[in-house]
Copies of this chain bind each other. A is one copy, B any other.
């Protein structure tokens, strides 16, 4: 790490920077280079570069090493391929040269609804079933999900259709309860920096789908992935779902270029949730197709047999026929980006 000093730095400020770095485990060497005086800090120290950069007398900080390690492509050059399911359902892979599509309703509403949806999306080519049993909602007065009952319906639907399932976990206590019922945990956007949850879920060793917080930088997102990996998770999939900006025509601003950025920085697969990004059905397919064109490893799409009756997010859920059309378009697009759409065997496979 390099610290460039201000031209008019006081001796006292310089001394403090030296001790700040030494206290955090770095060995330190100061020297002139061209017009500048710089401090090189090396070793296994840990520091918040943001904090360092606003110390008096620090002009700029340049960290050559990333603050995350296990998630970094420098640590592992080849793409990680994550496997979901494989016990009571077929194993599905995410990453590499595959396009993997996860689909299902926003929330599990009843045994019938999830069963019907599962069959419908399976028919169109989705290979993992999504659905919320516990729903974190901005308002305490909104539908909060069916809980463990909903999760059991999901598991049954997944097994009936031969698809592993993914569902959101909202507290450390629930993670343990849900462990044997789900094939993959989802960490929702609002919990991306709920570090206690990350540590607990990571320690369970199951695949995790980590959504990006709506105002998280890519670096913070990868640091949250690092929490999961350090705690024991091996199979982490990143999911971009839109960030918060000043524009309010769409629910969020889909950060489409986060896909190539993350693929450069990390070996983890990255998929996109076009439903939350767009927030309105009419734009979900455009968002999904753009994501694949930009290099995403897959999608997580909200689909509902009767969106107008959905208890949550119906306005952004696709109808079955729209989803089928999207899957056909993805299949046509796949070779343009050098990928192949994942199909699994079984009674619904093709």
Are the CB atoms of A64 and B60 closer together than 8 Å?
yes
Asked if A64 meets B48 with Cβ closer than 8 Å, knowing A253-B245, A256-B256, A257-B254, the reply is: no
Q: Please report whether the interface of chain A is mostly helix, strand, loop or mixed according to DSSP.
A: mixed
- Residue of chain B at shortest CB distance from A23: B309
Once bound together, how far apart are the Cα atoms of A209 and B244, in whole Å? 25
Asked if A287 meets B280 with Cβ closer than 8 Å, knowing A142-B48, A246-B244, the reply is: no
Q: Interface size of A by Cβ–Cβ distance < 8 Å?
A: 119
Are the CB atoms of A27 and B34 closer together than 8 Å?
yes
A 1-45 binary contact with B (CB < 8 Å = 1; else 0): 110111110000000100110010001010101111010111100
**Residues of chain B within 8 A of A254, CB atoms compared:** 255-257
**Residues of chain B within 8 A of A141, CB atoms compared:** 46, 67
Chain A, 241-255, CB within 8 A of any chain B CB: 243-251, 253-255
Are the CB atoms of B5 and A64 closer together than 8 Å?
yes
A117, CB-defined interface residue at 8 Å: no
- Residue of chain B at shortest CB distance from A44: B141
Asked if A336 meets B289 with Cβ closer than 8 Å, knowing A6-B64, A34-B40, A218-B249, the reply is: yes
Are the CB atoms of A36 and B40 closer together than 8 Å?
yes
**Residues of chain B within 8 A of A314, CB atoms compared:** 20
Chain A, 187-218, CB within 8 A of any chain B CB: 190-191, 193-197, 213-215, 217-218
A79, CB-defined interface residue at 8 Å: no
Asked if A48 meets B253 with Cβ closer than 8 Å, knowing A34-B29, A62-B4, A215-B214, the reply is: no
Asked if A255 meets B253 with Cβ closer than 8 Å, knowing A138-B193, A336-B329, the reply is: yes
A178, CB-defined interface residue at 8 Å: no
Residue of B50, B190, B245, B256 near A251 (CB, 8 A) is B50
A65, CB-defined interface residue at 8 Å: yes
CB distance from A33 to the nearest CB of B (A): 3
**Residues of chain B within 8 A of A336, CB atoms compared:** 289, 329, 332-333
Are the CB atoms of A16 and B308 closer together than 8 Å?
yes
Would you mind naming 5 contact pairs between A and B with Cβ atoms under 8 Å apart? A38-B40, A50-B251, A51-B279, A217-B249, A254-B257
Given A31-B33, A35-B43, A286-B294, 11 more pairs with CB closer than 8 A:
A4-B63, A7-B64, A20-B314, A36-B42, A54-B251, A170-B195, A217-B246, A218-B249, A243-B247, A253-B257, A257-B283
